[in-house]
Every structure is written in structure tokens, then in C-alpha cells.
């Protein structure tokens, strides 16, 4: 985990469409909260077998102490993973937390938020602290034991004072 | 497994598009072979975790003794599982056997082959003997031990004589 | 699987103590039956995670068509795996089929039956046909699909005629 | 997890024999350290499949930040789980952290440390803070996510001052 002093401010999310939420969600709205973002693609085997189940376990273990979001960062097979497929995927896999579709400047290529966060692929897990700083950016498989420890520490950090 | 005497002739496949094969495949072409058909939908969790891995294990264990086919029987979320998504799915999940898209009379609803076989849902595993008879039609999870036994018996049956 | 013509007669079992059965079991008594013998040691991790669960799946899938036996072939840590430990192990792991303790000529070293069968280690799965011939002798992990096929073929073979 | 104010001092360990360590270990010696104790029996299926692998993951994830100990709390099948069997078990299952044999006042029955901690069975995971207080006492299966969080919090607590 990146120390709070060295951590950069997490870039804003650029989302073209949200699922499982009434309105759009911005990181600014989540200031003061610990946020876990699971970046995935619905046709990514490692996301289905590891990343998304781990995100569910985060939500189950931490409840309201962590805000869990999904981010559908389509950087390949773009036509195969349109929002209509994502909606059915979220329903079939019983994913209940809010999921945003990472926006593209133009069709194809890397989506905007994925580029801003310099994600190396999917699945990636991003942790953001109460002050909006990017504290973990992990590609692939990370043990629950390690993620549980990282989240406990972020939860226990004092929220930033109002002057910040 | 249905006894050879009581087994009906397997209905023909009605496929709108094939993947992983140069040309269309018909059951008539496969006469004399033992055929295993894995009926699935790409957004069906049980197909991803159980049905398709089992189909791969059939192909691995029996090689040329069994012809393994996939059948994409979309009966829900039709717009979410178009052929373009199937193509990417087959690539990402490393599925190498031929897969046909079950055709629809009209958009939506049950696909034609699925109706002919009276499949109860996905995943379903269909086994066809050398004489083209439908010998097993199993919905959900069936143990490898049982499927391995059924296939060995179909392989060992004599092919039908030419007069048949 | 070894062809019936080339298969040797399975050597007799040399068992010092039986569990989960009222009396001693000999292969001669089982003539006419298909027999699966799971050779294991209670402190062998691969036996606990793979071999014994597979033996249970054989019993579940084939019922009275296959006689499943366990054989406790202790060839290392002899003092650590005495019959008193085996009895508790069978109870805790819910193993209900008969299990014999492979006998030793003298304390330590390879047990007698294990030597007769030239087993390479544990777990090993041995399949014996209705005529008492040794048809499979597999060390380590073998897929259920393959074992299911082998057993179906042994079940379907004609029992030896009385003159044999 | 029990709050530091309400947590009782962890009772001393009563160990008749140690494995994987040069000398006896007492909780008094570990004052100032976070300690995780995995209470298990070698013939307990849930210990083999869940408890001990989790203890290994604790050791892997936290390294020198957590002292991991095993405690062989034999309360059933006493003759089946003697130290000679434990030694072979630890070798075969590649368990490298120190393991103590929970002592008995007399043969049979509940071992002493298990009684002092009022453990409900095996596996049980006990967490002790830097001040020697009992902070978690969990029977059965607890998620890694939850254990990782609990350990991070114990690690981050200040060690007690000398006057305490």
C-alpha cells in the first residue's frame, strides 16, 4: 500500500453509464469514505473467477465501512462487451454494488479512467482513502488476507479535516 | 443413459453461424461417431464454472473417440449474447471445439434446436450414439465419473450396419 | 487400461486388519465382481485431497456395480500411522467402504501387498476385472472422466465362464 | 474482535512438547508481539482443509509482523493423535511454524490450554495483542478478509508502555 504522504490524489472517474445505482457517482461525492474499485471486463476469465468474487467478499466483510464500486474497463473486444451485455452479466452473476462503464474518447482503444489510473489490465483492484488519495493499484491476484489488512488500515485512518 | 432400443433419433441441429470450424456441421455428417453437445449461454455462470470445463475434459480424455460440439442456445438476454460476444468469449476462455449458434425462428424466445431437444436450460449435455440416437440429455451438473462411463459405453457400441 | 489378454492375475491382498467390514475380504471372494482398490496413507496429503474423495465418487456413481476397497499401505512414518490412527481417520473423514491394513513382513519398510502390486506410492488406484485380472494401476492423479470410462468397460465385460 | 479495554489477558499455554522450534515458547516471551494461534487436531478435516492453510497464509502475508503458532489440542481420539503422528503430519503437510502439543492433566479428556481458552472445538483461531490480551477466539471458518483486517489492527496498535 502506498503511504498517505506519497499517495497521489485519485483521478476522477469518467463513466458513460451507471448500473445498480440511481444516479451518477463521483469520487468527490465519496470524499471521507474508503473506496474499493474493481476494474473488470465481463469476458475476462480472471475477473469472473477471482476479481469480482473478491469484490463481493469485500462488500460482505466490511459493509458500510467500504464503498465498493465496479468499473467496466473495456480495452479489447469492444463490440462484444457493450452495456446491454454488462446489464445481463450483472444480473446473472448477482453483482449488487454500483458498476460504471468506463468511457472512451472514441470507439475502441483504452478507456479514459483506465488510462488515468494507468491500470495494467483486468482484473485490477484500486483502493482510495478517505482523503481521496490512491493507496493501492493492484493488477491480477492479491490475497484476501492482504486486501483485508489494507482496508482495515484505510478505515482506521482519520478522515481529513475540513480545512483540507 | 437411454437404452439404444428406446432412444429416439437425435433431431437435426439448426445453426445460424459456426465458430471454430471451416464449414457447417450436421449430425448426418457425424453418423458413425459418438457426439457430445454442450448447450450453453456465455452469460450463464454454471456453464462457465461447470459445463464448458467438463466439455473440455471430455475432449481431453477421449480425443478422436468423441466429437465435442458446443451449442450457444440463447433463450434469455438475447441482445446481450450476440455472435460478436460469443466469438470473444470463445477466444478468452480458450474453447477450441466447434461451436454453433442455435437459430431462432424470430428474434427472442427459445432457439430452434433447444426446443427440438426439449432442453430444460443451460448448461445441458447431450450425448448422441454412432447411429444418431439421442442417448443422454442432462440438465445442470452431472459428475465426470458418470459422463465418462456413459461415453465409454457409447464408444464401445458397434457402429450401425450399412443396411440401417 | 491393460487389455484383458495381457493383464496379469491380481496378486492376493495381505491384510493384517480390516475396518468397516465384518470379516476378512479376499480377492478370491470377489471373483466375478469389478473391484477398485484405493491405496493410501492417512498422512498423505494427495490421498486426503484427491485419492479418497475419488474413491467415494466411484462408490457413489457405480453403487453395487463396483466393489470399492481401501488399502492402507504404510511405507513411511510407520509409527505415526498405526491402526488406532486409521480407525479415527476413517471415522472423521466419513469413509464407509472396507479398508484393509497392508501387512508388513517385519516392522518398517514396504508393506507386502504394495510390493506385490509394485505400487509407486500413494495415492494409487488399482482396478481388477471380473476374472480377477489387474487392469489398471495408476499412481497419483487420474481424471474422473478416465476412471469412469475404465470402470464402465470393466463392468460391461462378461464374467468369466465357470470352466475358466 | 474484542476491544482492547474489554479483552482479558490471554491465559498461559500449557504445552507438553514443541515442534519446529529449538526451545519452549511462552506467551510471556512473546509480549510486545501480535500472536496468532491455530488450534487444531491432525485428524480434523476442517483443520486440514481450512484452518492450517489459513494459518500458512497469515504467516505468508504478515511475515515477522505476526508470530504464528500451532496448538495441537487433542480432545478426542487421543491414542490416534500422539506426538509421533503429529511430527509426521507436520512434515507431510509442510507446516513450518512452531507447534505445541496441548498438555493434559491426565490421559483423555480436554487438554489444559483448550480449557483455559474455552475453545469450542477445532479449528479455532486465537489472536493475542502486543499487551498479551486475548482479542479474537473464533471457532470454525472465518474469512481471510476478516482475519487480515483484525491482524492489521493489532499490528498497528501501540505496544504497551513499560509501566503497564
pLDDT digits (tens, 9 = 90+) for C97-136: 999 999 999 988 999 999 999 999 999 999 999 999 999 9
pLDDT digits (tens, 9 = 90+) for A34-77: 999 999 999 999 999 999 999 999 999 999 999 999 999 999 99
Q: How far apart are CA A101 and CA B100, in angstroms?
A: 30
Query: Would you mind telling me the total number of residues written for chain C in this entry?
Result: 164
With CA atoms as reference, the chain A residue closest to B77 would be A88
* Cell 479415527 -> residue: C88
Q: What is the pLDDT of residue B18?
A: 98
Confidence of residue A159 (pLDDT cuts 50, 70, 90): confident
DSSP letter at B145 equals H
Confidence (pTM): 0.95
* Least Cα separation, residue D99 to chain A (angstroms): 22
Confidence of residue A162 (pLDDT cuts 50, 70, 90): low
Share of chain D above pLDDT 90, in %: 93
Minimal Cβ distance to C58: which of B145, B152, B155: B145
Share of chain A above pLDDT 90, in %: 93
Confidence of residue C163 (pLDDT cuts 50, 70, 90): very low
Strands of the sheet containing A124-128, edge to edge, are A15-19, A99-102, A66-72, A34-40, A124-128, A134-139
* Least Cα separation, residue C61 to chain D (angstroms): 23
Sign of CA pseudo-dihedral B119, B124, B129, B130 = positive
Structure-model confidence comparison of residues D94 and C163, the more confident one:
D94
Q: What is the pLDDT of residue C107?
A: 85
pLDDT digits (tens, 9 = 90+) for B12-62: 999 999 999 999 999 999 999 999 999 999 999 999 999 999 999 999 999
Instruction: Give yes or no for residue B149 having a pLDDT over 60.
Output: yes
Q: What is the pLDDT of residue D69?
A: 98
Chain mean position to CA D85: 19
Q: Answer whether C69's CB lies under 8 Å from C35's CB.
A: yes
Closest residue by Cα to residue D114 from D26, D57, D28, D41: D41
DSSP letter at B1 equals -
Give the chains touching C; criterion: ≥3 Cβ pairs < 8 Å. Answer: B, D
Is C80 in contact with D87 (Cβ distance < 8 A)? yes
Chain D residues whose CB is inside 8 A of the C79 CB are: 84
Judge whether A21 is closer than 8 Å to chain B, CB to CB.
Answer: no
Residues of chain A numbered 32-71 and touching chain B (CB < 8 Å) = 42-45, 48
Tally the C-alpha atoms within 13 A of residue C54's C-alpha that lie toward its C-beta.
27
Minimal Cβ distance to C93: which of D45, D77, D89: D45
Judge whether A29 is closer than 8 Å to chain B, CB to CB.
Answer: no
Q: List b or e across A35-73, with b for residues whose CB sees 16 or more CB atoms inside 10 angstroms.
A: bbbbbbbbbbebbbebbbebbbbbbebbeeebbbbbbbb
Confidence of residue C162 (pLDDT cuts 50, 70, 90): low
Q: What is the pLDDT of residue D107?
A: 85
Q: What is the pLDDT of residue C164?
A: 44
With CA atoms as reference, the chain C residue closest to D80 would be C85
Closest residue by Cα to residue A10 from A133, A130, A131: A133
pLDDT digits (tens, 9 = 90+) for D1-21: 999 999 999 999 999 999 999
This complex has an ipTM of 0.94
Q: What is the pLDDT of residue C19?
A: 98
Q: What is the pLDDT of residue D163?
A: 47
Chain B residues whose CB is inside 8 A of the C125 CB are: none
Q: List b or e across D44-80, with b for residues whose CB sees 16 or more CB atoms inside 10 angstroms.
A: bebbbebbbebbbbbbebbeeebbbbbbbbbbbbeeb
Three cell numbers written together for D164 = 503497564
With CA atoms as reference, the chain A residue closest to D59 would be A145
Instruction: Give yes or no for residue A163 having a pLDDT over 60.
Output: no
Chain mean position to CA C94: 17
Three cell numbers written together for D125 = 483461531
Q: How far apart are CA A82 and CA B93, in angstroms?
A: 18
Instruction: Give yes or no for residue C75 having a pLDDT over 80.
Output: yes
Is D61 in contact with A143 (Cβ distance < 8 A)? yes
Q: Answer whether B41's CB lies under 8 Å from B73's CB.
A: yes
pLDDT digits (tens, 9 = 90+) for D82-129: 999 999 999 999 999 999 999 999 988 999 999 999 999 999 999 999
Q: Answer whether C19's CB lies under 8 Å from C98's CB.
A: yes
* Least Cα separation, residue A65 to chain D (angstroms): 12
Q: What is the pLDDT of residue B87?
A: 98
- Strand partners for B156: none
Q: How far apart are CA D124 and CA D40, in angstroms?
A: 7
Chosen for mutation from A48, A52, A56, A88 (greatest number of chain B CBs closer than 10 Å) is: A88
Amino acid at each position: 500500500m502506498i503511504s498517505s504522504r506519497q499517495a497521489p490524489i485519485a483521478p476522477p472517474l469518467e463513466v458513460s453509464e451507471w448500473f445498480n445505482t440511481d444516479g451518477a457517482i463521483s469520487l468527490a461525492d465519496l470524499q471521507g469514505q474508503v473506496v474499493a474499485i474493481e476494474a473488470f471486463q465481463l469476458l475476462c476469465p480472471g475477473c469472473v473467477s477471482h476479481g469480482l468474487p473478491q469484490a463481493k467478499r469485500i462488500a460482505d466483510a466490511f459493509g458500510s465501512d467500504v464503498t465498493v464500486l465496479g468499473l467496466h474497463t473495456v480495452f479489447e473486444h469492444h463490440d462484444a462487451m457493450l452495456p446491454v451485455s454488462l446489464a445481463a452479466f450483472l444480473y446473472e452473476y448477482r453483482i449488487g454494488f454500483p458498476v460504471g462503464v468506463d468511457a472512451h474518447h472514441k470507439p475502441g482503444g483504452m478507456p479514459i479512467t483506465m488510462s488515468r489510473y494507468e491500470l495494467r489490465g483486468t482484473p485490477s483492484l484500486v483502493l482510495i482513502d478517505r482523503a481521496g488519495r490512491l493507496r493501492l493499484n493492484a493488477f491480477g491476484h492479491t490475497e484476501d488476507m492482504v486486501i483485508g489488512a489494507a482496508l482495515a488500515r484505510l478505515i482506521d485512518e482519520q478522515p481529513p479535516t475540513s480545512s483540507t
